[in-house]
Amino acid sequence: MIMKKIFIILLLFITCFNFSSQILKTDFVAAYNVEYPIYNKKNAEQFLLFINSKENTSFYRSTNQYILDSLKAGKEINNDDFTASTKYTTALGEEVLKKGNTFTVYETIVDAKVKYKESADLKWTVLNDTKTYAGYKTRKAYTIAYGRKWIAWYTDALPLNFGPYKFCGLPGLIINMYDENGQYYFTLSVFKRKSRLASLPKDKRYKLVSKAKAKQIKYNTLSDLSGMIFDDPNMKRRMEQSNQKRIKESPQLDIEK
């Protein structure tokens, strides 16, 4: 019920605000509940998938970040209000735009804005297993991608070849999926046929790099202690060790090198 209320509020934001020069006109909007480990604890948050099935285009991002952008656009939160903004953080900050057979992945890492492109041509193996999820009869499939084996359950009742994050290409919408080790779960919580205008990232503000370079930039930025002064070298060493532990325990959907 809470998820559905959040979803309705978001649809109102989409209608009222236009805060980017790039727009995706949707015919479907979905919400996924995503469970993931962070600092050895389970966490869950909602993500949105905006779909234009006619143009084979979709856009996936955190609900928290979408709300934050909407509040800033409506002048309800100032751009420099760090305290208010922290209420809408996400540990999975990648935003994924799928156009045809290509993903463009956008991420803001502190002050750095980077993007990389990647093929959306995933190799799926469809199995005979069936199961009912959220009232839909689904079929099981799996793929090896992004450094893990992923199991997906999709439905022919919704013949849309889309899914959460960087997953697509099945003959139906992905309803439920998870990695082989059971660390990451995606579950469809809301699906609506909605004609809306969804704002996309301002592409020119992001530096195009390779995926490997994007990962390196993120690692370097998160591990940077150059702005800190340490009188005690032992304290610096402990801080470096703590920082490395924090980075290691941060959630990563894509661990491909």
Residues of the chain with pLDDT under 70: 1-21, 225-232, 235-244
pTM of the model: 0.86
Residue 178 confidence (pLDDT): 98
Question: What residue spans define the domains of the chain?
Answer: 2-122+177-204, 211-248
User: What is the pLDDT, as a whole number, of residue 226?
Assistant: 62
One DSSP character per residue, the chain reads: -HHHHHHHHHHHHHHH----S-EEEESEEEEEEEEEEETTEEEEEEEEEEEEGGGTEEEEEEHHHHHHHHHHHTTSS-TT-HHHHGGG--S---EEEEETTEEEEEEEETTEEEEEEEE----EEEEEEEEEETTEEEEEEEEEETTEEEEEEEETTS-----STT---SSSEEEEEEETTS--EEEEEEEE---EEEE---GGGSEE--HHHHHHHHHHHHH--TT---SSHHHHHHHHHHHHHHHHTS--S----
Question: Which pLDDT score, from 0 to 100, does residue 241 have?
Answer: 66
d(CA 61, CA 52): 15
Q: What is the pLDDT of residues 231-247, one digit of tens each?
A: 667 766 666 666 667 77
